[in-house]
């Protein structure tokens, strides 16, 4: 309280002093104001404010006061600020702020208002009060100064208050006279520009926009009568500004759409300028905008100013002004991209109303690029010229692009001229065309083409210059080096071409082809990224190079996509042009090409406007191209290829579904889910399977032909993929192939080259599948190859036997060839094709995988090859003719085959392949193959191979034993149709099989009654072979129950055949044997007796096979007859066989001896001579004479003299045989028998008869028989004399005794033969003649039997030793093939 009183008293004292000592007090106060002590300054300011009203306001005082205030402001002591502001407020009340130094003070106040004085709100209030003392024009001018931007909000608010206050008082704001003092205060144009620019960022510093708009709103009353800013502007502002303020109130900085806000500001400005409607005013405004553009660097502000310039100039109607301003803006600074874009935007806005002027001005401006005389560029320093040329070019093309973007279509009538000018800019360039200039040019041109290609109306016009520009871009791409990528020229050139994608006219196919080929070569041939990185000088450069390459590759992809969009039907063409690089030896080139293919197909598959117009006319070639890469050595290429293949599959599937949908057919769903890129990865087979249904026949063939080219690829994986693709496609669609001949020859050619083992194996498999599906074309081609075949052809035929379907198809054709050719009339010339067929069969059947197929065709195949064998053995085959060569094992030579041996081997292979190896083993053991190789004995070989009748009947063999009944019936069904074939070969083969198949009971039962009719018919044919075959059938038929009984009626017919040719006789014997052996009942003994007379001579037939057959048959018959206990009649017939058997047992032929031994064994069983049974059972060639001797001894010792006589008498008939062997054998038999007899007891007549019978052979033509006769006669004489001497004395004693006793001496001589005693006297002649008749009858009977034995005419006595009496030096006679 005391302080305030003292302060008040002090101030009153100064007030009194100032009135008395003004000139002294004022300097004192000023002195204290200029000290550095804040307290003194504050006190001095308080005192000065208290006494200021009393101080005269002279100019000197004003100057001194302002000086002191400036010093305090410069010191800027914070404790003084408040007192100083109060002092300044007082000065403002006395108009001190209007003084020249007032600006410094105002700036100080403004600076304080900019600082953070939140804790000193009174200072802010003081600043506001002070600023309100500044005149409105000056305050607005200060607010618009760039240096006062931070205080703009405060200044604008203050100015707004002042303007509103003045308007409320009815005072016109100072704005109406701004144009009168443009140098002192801010001009209306600058004010408008500044406020609008500040409104661009409305939330800057909190409320920049609001403050600007409110100030603009407050500066113009509705009732303004200003000649420039008329009422229409006021009306516009009164309407628009509140709306804009409301927008700012409703939004925040985060949710306000900045672009829409700027457009609203520009529209507001444009409408304001239209309302102003004053070209002079506009001219000044435009200059203000240009000035602000040139001297302010804020990017966002500049961007808006360029637009503001455009909108401003667009409103002008002064053409001269427009041209001048356009020229002016083009001359502004354009170093930065934003500046160039701003200029372009400004010109585009102007062009919306003055298009022609803008285009003309741009053309004039572009002269600096091509006119050396007028270009300012050449006046620059040389190092800046190229850069400036590029910038100018950039401005021009960017301006064109912005004009196009804003145009509603008018620009397109001028566009062709613009494009022509674009070409001239480069071709007539004033600068040297180096890499940098090209880049500058392409950069600029890219801006134009980007906008042009995106304009929706561009596609409605034709641009003839398009093709020329595309050609020019291609030239630039070609000029780029292929060993580096040091610039982005090729990238930019391709981008420009892409921009012209759908502009008319469209490129023709040739032009598209050249374009793609150029771009492919320029990009795909670049070195790998690793190489590019190594060549870089730094890591940064290396990374930049890699990035550039990737961008270039992406550009190439976009180019291809562009061409696809332009012409979807040409996608195939784009992909085919990649073929060169897809097949490149360089991994990086293949990988890039496949990447392009995968992306293109993926793009196509996802096209929204996908339609049926996408056609793959060369689908086969395309699939082959991609499929081979699925097996590429580079794993990423495989992955990319799988993606490409899957995309292509999706395209085809979609096309198919759309087509079915249009036809109203059921749509296949979920099929694409079966496949995926993963399924196709490294899986050529799945690819072929997926695409098989989509290929046309021509596409299918093209795929195979082109895939064939990849077989010889040096990369094993690729060559294998080619082979796999071929085989997979042929498996799925092999039947639809065309140009089969070309494919076959191509495959053969490549198989003969050095292929990889796996590739070769797969290629052979492909040929196998091709042959399976196109048998009638492929097989004849291969058969026509010259014999013997090389390894390639052999490998193919072997492969044909490894696939069941192919094997069956090929075998059917080969069988058909054999059947067709051999069914024709036989010719003497040897046909080539059937021989080739056997070579093919040899390879096919030598494999181990064809068993199932062969079994399916077994009967038909067997018959066909057997018929061929018959045909080929009858041909005149050249000596040493080799048609097939079988390779031996390591270190061994190959084995050659002629047609016959090859065919015979195939027969064996047929059995082995059908799993009937037992037949082959049997054939080897029984010489069947030798028989089949001989034309004469071929039919015997067939019958023996089917079922050998030489073996015991209860031991079947060959085919009948090994094959199942079902197979036998299949064979039967085939041969039945051939029994009366016109082909002799087929007829023989069929009948031989038919006859032997009857051995099997089921076959015989199946045939029924007709079979016997056929057999009898054949037997009656004149052909001996047919007779033999028919008899073989009857023999087999007799094996079955019931059949033997029915065949008994044929015994007389068969009996008549026993005197036929050897083989016929043999078969007749077998037939009779089987009828008897398999007959039932007592009547078989009758049958036996009925044939015994005809059978017995056959035991000693000169033909070994007949002899053996008859003897063997006799043994079987005797065994069977013994079961029925033969009676006297039968036994009498059985006795007739003993002498023939005993004679035959002396044969040197082992088989004859064995047969006789078996027969004699059975004979002894029937007759009951058991003591001889074992002797005969074990007889051999070495002891058969000894056995004979024992037999003779047994005969004599049994005291069966009459039987011995009968047998001896029977043997007399053989002494007259034409066979020297039988004559000798009979002599041996007689000699051995006589040896055991007591000849002295034999009647003289019988002895004489015996001697005479033997003696008749003293002159035998065979010397050995003569010797044997003499020896035998001599022995007989010795036997007689020896016996006589020993018994003569005893005889005399006996006779004397009988005479003494009167008893008559009985006849002691035995009769050996069945005849009565012959008396010497005449009385007994009648008795002798009576007995002579039965004796002669007996002789005739036995003699007749011997004579009935068939014998050969000629020198029968001059036969080999084998037919004579056996000796130790004569080997056994071997039977030939016929003997079997």
Helix (H) or strand (E) holding 420: helix 412-427
For 73-105, how does the pLDDT look when each residue is reduced to its tens digit (9 = 90+)? 888 888 888 888 888 888 888 888 888 888 888
Banded pLDDT at 332 (limits 50, 70, 90): confident
| Whole-number Å distance between alpha carbons of 785 and 837 | 11
Where is average pLDDT lowest: 428-432, 965-969, 1095-1099, 1163-1167? Answer: 428-432
* pLDDT on residue 636: 93
Q: Which residue has the higher pLDDT, 917 or 1281?
A: 917
Q: Where are the beta strands (DSSP E) in 620-687?
A: none
| Gyration radius (Cα) of the chain, Å | 68
Banded pLDDT at 1364 (limits 50, 70, 90): very low
Mean pLDDT on 894-922: 88
Cβ distance 1210 to 1340 under 8 Å? no
Percent of the chain with pLDDT over 90: 15
Residue with token string 């969009």: 565
* pLDDT on residue 1344: 45
Q: Pick from 635, 745, 631: which is nearest to 688 by CA?
A: 631
Selection from 221-225, 571-575, 766-770 with the highest mean pLDDT: 766-770
Q: Where are the beta strands (DSSP E) in 531-622?
A: none
Banded pLDDT at 1206 (limits 50, 70, 90): confident
What is the secondary structure of 1104-1157 as a DSSP string? HHHHHHHHHHHHHHHHHHHTT---HHHHHHHHTTHHHHHHHTT-S-HHHHHHHH
Where is average pLDDT lowest: 192-206, 761-775, 1288-1302? Answer: 1288-1302
* pLDDT on residue 301: 83
Q: What letters, b where the CB count within 10 A reaches 16 and e where it falls short, cover 539-552?
A: eeebeebbebbeeb
Residue with token string 């047919």: 1026
Cβ distance 759 to 767 under 8 Å? no
Rounded to a whole number of angstroms, the distance between the first and last alpha carbons of the chain is 168
| Whole-number Å distance between alpha carbons of 1144 and 1106 | 12
Q: Which residue has the higher pLDDT, 858 or 673?
A: 858
* Nearest-10 Cα torsion for 811, 815, 818, 821: -120
* pLDDT on residue 1373: 30
| Whole-number Å distance between alpha carbons of 310 and 342 | 9
Q: Where are the beta strands (DSSP E) in 334-480?
A: none
Mean pLDDT rounded to a whole number for the chain: 81
Whether the predicted pLDDT of 467 surpasses 70: yes
* pLDDT on residue 666: 66
For 1124-1170, how does the pLDDT look when each residue is reduced to its tens digit (9 = 90+)? 888 888 888 898 998 998 888 888 888 888 899 999 998 988 888 88
Q: Pick from 357, 304, 296, 298: which is nearest to 330 by CA?
A: 357
Residue with token string 């990017």: 299
Helix (H) or strand (E) holding 531: helix 529-535
Cβ distance 636 to 591 under 8 Å? yes
Stated length of the chain: 1380
The first and second tokens of residue 137, run together, are 């024009």
Banded pLDDT at 1110 (limits 50, 70, 90): very high
For CA atoms 987, 989, 992, 997, give the dihedral sign: negative
Selection from 147-161, 511-525, 955-969 with the highest mean pLDDT: 511-525
3-state secondary structure at position 785: coil
Phi, psi angle pair for 462, to nearest 5°? -105, 140
Where is average pLDDT lowest: 677-686, 875-884, 980-989? Answer: 875-884
Whether the predicted pLDDT of 708 surpasses 60: yes
3-state secondary structure at position 108: helix
* pLDDT on residue 588: 92
Mean pLDDT on 670-689: 81
| Whole-number Å distance between alpha carbons of 1155 and 1176 | 10
For 563-572, how does the pLDDT look when each residue is reduced to its tens digit (9 = 90+)? 887 777 778 8
pTM equals 0.64
* pLDDT on residue 667: 57
For 1291-1346, how does the pLDDT look when each residue is reduced to its tens digit (9 = 90+)? 555 555 545 455 444 455 778 776 534 433 343 444 344 335 444 544 554 444 44
Mean pLDDT on 946-954: 54
For 351-376, how does the pLDDT look when each residue is reduced to its tens digit (9 = 90+)? 999 999 999 999 999 888 888 888 88
The packing angle between helices 319-330 and 299-314, to 10°, is 160
What is the secondary structure of 1258-1311 as a DSSP string? TT-SSHHHHHHHHHHHHHHHHHHHHHHHHHHHHHHHHHHHHHHHTPPPPP-PBP
Cβ distance 1186 to 1107 under 8 Å? no
Phi, psi angle pair for 895, to nearest 5°? -105, 120
The packing angle between helices 775-783 and 740-751, to 10°, is 50
Mean pLDDT on 455-462: 80
């Amino acid at each position: 309280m005391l302080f305030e009183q003292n302060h008040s008293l002090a101030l009153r004292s100064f007030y009194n002093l100032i009135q008395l000592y003004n000139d002294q007090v004022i300097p004192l106060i000023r002195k204290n104001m200029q000290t550095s002590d804040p307290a003194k300054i504050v006190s001095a300011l308080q005192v000065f404010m208290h006494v200021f009203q009393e101080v005269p306001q002279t100019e000197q005082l004003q100057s001194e006061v302002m000086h002191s205030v400036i010093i305090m402001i410069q010191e800027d002591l914070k404790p003084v600020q408040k007192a100083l502001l109060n002092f300044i407020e007082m000065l403002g009340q006395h108009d001190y702020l209007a003084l020249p130094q007032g600006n410094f003070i105002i700036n100080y106040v403004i600076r304080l208002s900019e600082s953070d004085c939140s804790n000193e709100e009174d200072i802010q209030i003081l600043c506001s009060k002070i600023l309100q003392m500044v005149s409105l024009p000056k305050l607005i001018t200060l607010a618009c100064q760039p240096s006062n931007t931070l205080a703009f909000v405060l200044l604008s608010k203050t100015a707004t208050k002042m303007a509103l206050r003045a308007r409320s008082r009815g005072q016109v704001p100072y704005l109406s006279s701004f144009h009168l003092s443009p140098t002192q205060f801010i001009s209306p144009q600058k004010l408008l520009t500044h406020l609008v620019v500040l409104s661009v960022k409305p939330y800057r510093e909190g409320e920049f926009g609001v403050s600007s708009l409110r100030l603009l709103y407050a500066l113009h009353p509705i009732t303004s009568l200003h000649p420039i800013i008329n009422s229409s502007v006021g009306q516009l502002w009164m309407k628009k500004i509140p709306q804009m303020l409301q927008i700012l109130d409703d939004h925040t900085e985060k949710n306000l759409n900045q672009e829409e806000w700027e457009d609203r500001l520009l529209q507001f400005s444009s409408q304001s300028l239209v309302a102003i409607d004053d070209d002079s005013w506009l001219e000044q405004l435009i200059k203000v905008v240009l000035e602000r553009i040139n001297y302010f660097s804020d990017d966002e502000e500049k961007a808006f100013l360029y637009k503001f310039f455009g909108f401003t100039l667009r409103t002008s109607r002064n053409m001269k002004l427009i041209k001048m301003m356009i020229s002016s803006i083009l001359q502004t600074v354009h170093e930065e991209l934003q500046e160039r874009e701003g200029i372009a935007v400004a010109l585009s806005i102007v062009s919306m109303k003055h298009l022609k002027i803008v285009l003309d001005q741009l053309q004039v401006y572009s002269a600096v690029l091509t006119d050396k005389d007028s270009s300012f560029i050449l006046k620059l320093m040389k190092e800046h010229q190229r850069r400036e040329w590029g910038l100018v070019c950039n401005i021009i093309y960017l301006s064109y692009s912005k004009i196009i973007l804003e145009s509603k279509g008018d620009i397109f009538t001028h566009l062709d001229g613009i494009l022509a000018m674009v070409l001239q800019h480069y071709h007539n360039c004033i600068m040297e065309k180096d890499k940098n200039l090209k880049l500058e040019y392409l950069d600029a041109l890219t801006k134009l083409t980007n906008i042009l290609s995106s304009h929706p109306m561009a596609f409605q016009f034709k641009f003839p210059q398009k093709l020329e520009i595309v050609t020019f871009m291609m030239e630039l791409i070609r000029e780029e080096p292929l060993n580096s990528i040091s610039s982005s020229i090729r990238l930019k050139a391709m981008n420009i071409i892409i921009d012209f994608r759908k502009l008319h006219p469209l490129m023709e196919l040739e032009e598209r082809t050249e374009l793609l080929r150029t771009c492919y070569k320029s990009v795909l041939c670049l070195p790998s990224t690793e190489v590019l990185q190594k060549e870089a000088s730094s890591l940064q450069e290396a990374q930049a190079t890699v990035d550039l390459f990737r961008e270039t590759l992406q550009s190439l992809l976009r180019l291809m996509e562009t061409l696809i969009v332009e012409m979807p039907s040409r996608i195939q063409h784009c992909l085919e042009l990649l073929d060169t690089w897809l097949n490149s030896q360089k991994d990086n080139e293949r990988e890039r090409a496949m990447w392009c293919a995968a992306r293109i197909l993926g793009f196509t598959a996802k096209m929204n406007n996908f339609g049926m117009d996408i056609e793959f006319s060369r689908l086969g070639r395309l699939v082959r191209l991609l499929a081979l890469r699925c097996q590429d050595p580079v794993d990423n290429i495989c992955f990319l290829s799988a993606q490409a293949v899957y995309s292509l599959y999706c395209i085809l599937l979609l096309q198919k579904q759309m087509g079915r949908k249009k036809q109203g057919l059921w749509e296949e769903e979920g099929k694409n889910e079966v496949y995926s890129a993963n399924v196709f990865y490294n899986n050529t087979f799945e690819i072929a399977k997926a695409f098989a249904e989509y290929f046309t026949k021509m596409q299918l063939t093209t795929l195979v032909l082109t895939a064939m080219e990849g077989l010889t690829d040096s990369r094993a994986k690729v060559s294998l993929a080619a082979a796999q693709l071929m085989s997979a496609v042929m498996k799925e669609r092999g039947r639809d192939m065309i140009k089969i001949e070309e494919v076959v020859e191509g495959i053969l050619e490549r198989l003969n080259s050095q292929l990889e083992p796996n590739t070769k194996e797969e290629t052979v498999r492909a040929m196998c599948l091709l042959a399976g599906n196109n048998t009638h074309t492929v097989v004849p081609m291969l058969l026509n190859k010259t014999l013997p075949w090389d390894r390639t052809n052999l490998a193919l035929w072997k492969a044909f036997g490894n696939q069941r379907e192919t094997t069956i198809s090929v075998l059917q054709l080969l069988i058909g060839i054999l059947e067709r050719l051999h069914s024709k009339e036989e010719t003497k010339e040897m046909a080539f094709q059937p021989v080739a067929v056997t070579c093919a069969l040899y390879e096919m059947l030598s494999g181990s995988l064809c068993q199932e197929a062969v079994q399916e065709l077994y009967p038909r195949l067997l018959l066909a090859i057997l018929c061929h064998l018959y045909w080929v053995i009858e041909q005149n085959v050249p000596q040493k003719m080799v048609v097939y060569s079988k390779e031996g094992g390591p270190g061994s030579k190959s084995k050659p085959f002629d047609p016959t041996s090859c065919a015979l081997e195939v027969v064996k292979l047929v059995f082995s392949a059908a799993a009937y190896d037992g037949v082959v083993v049997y054939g080897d053991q029984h010489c069947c193959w030798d028989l089949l190789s001989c034309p004469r004995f071929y039919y015997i070989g067939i019958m023996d191979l089917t079922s050998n009748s030489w073996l015991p009947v209860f031991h079947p063999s060959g085919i009948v034993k090994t094959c199942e009944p079902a197979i036998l019936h299949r064979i039967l069904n085939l041969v039945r149709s051939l029994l009366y074939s016109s082909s002799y070969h087929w007829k023989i083969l069929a009948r031989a099989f038919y006859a032997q198949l009857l051995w099997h009971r089921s076959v015989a039962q199946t045939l029924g009654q007709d079979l016997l009719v056929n057999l009898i018919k054949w037997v009656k044919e004149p052909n001996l072979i047919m007779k033999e075959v028919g008899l073989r059938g009857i023999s087999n038929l007799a094996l079955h129950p019931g059949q033997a009984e029915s065949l008994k009626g044929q015994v007389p017919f068969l009996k008549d055949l026993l005197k036929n040719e050897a083989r016929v006789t043999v078969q007749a014997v077998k037939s009779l044997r089987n009828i008897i052996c398999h007959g039932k009942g007592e009547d078989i003994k009758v049958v036996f007796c009925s044939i015994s007379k005809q059978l017995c001579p056959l035991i000693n037939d000169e033909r070994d096979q007949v002899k053996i057959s008859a003897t063997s048959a006799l043994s079987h018959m005797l065994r069977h007859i013994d079961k029925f206990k033969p009676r006297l009649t039968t036994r009498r017939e059985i006795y007739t066989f003993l002498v023939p058997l005993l004679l035959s047992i002396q044969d040197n032929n082992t088989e004859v001896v064995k047969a006789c031994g078996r027969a004699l064994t059975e004979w002894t069983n029937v007759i009951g001579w058991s003591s001889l049974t074992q002797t005969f059972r074990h007889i051999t060639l070495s002891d058969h004479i000894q056995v004979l001797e024992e037999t003779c001894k047994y005969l004599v010792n049994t005291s069966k003299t009459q039987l011995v006589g009968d047998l001896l008498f029977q043997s007399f008939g053989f002494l007259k045989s034409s066979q020297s062997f039988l004559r000798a054998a009979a002599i041996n038999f007689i000699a051995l028998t006589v040896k055991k007899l007591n000849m002295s007891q034999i009647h003289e007549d019988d002895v004489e008869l015996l001697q005479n019978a033997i003696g008749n052979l003293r002159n035998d033509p065979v010397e050995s028989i003569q010797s044997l006769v003499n020896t035998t006669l001599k022995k007989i004489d010795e036997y007689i004399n020896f016996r006589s001497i020993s018994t003569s004395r005893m005889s005399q004693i006996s006779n004397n005794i009988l005479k003494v006793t009167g008893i008559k001496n009985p006849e002691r001589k035995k009769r050996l033969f069945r005849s009565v005693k012959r008396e010497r006297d005449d009385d007994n002649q009648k008795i002798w003649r009576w007995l002579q008749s039965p004796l002669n009858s007996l002789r005739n009977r036995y003699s007749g039997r011997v004579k009935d034995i068939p014998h050969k005419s000629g020198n029968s006595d001059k036969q080999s030793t084998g037919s004579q009496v056996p000796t130790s030096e004569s080997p056994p006679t071997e039977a030939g093939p016929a003997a079997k």
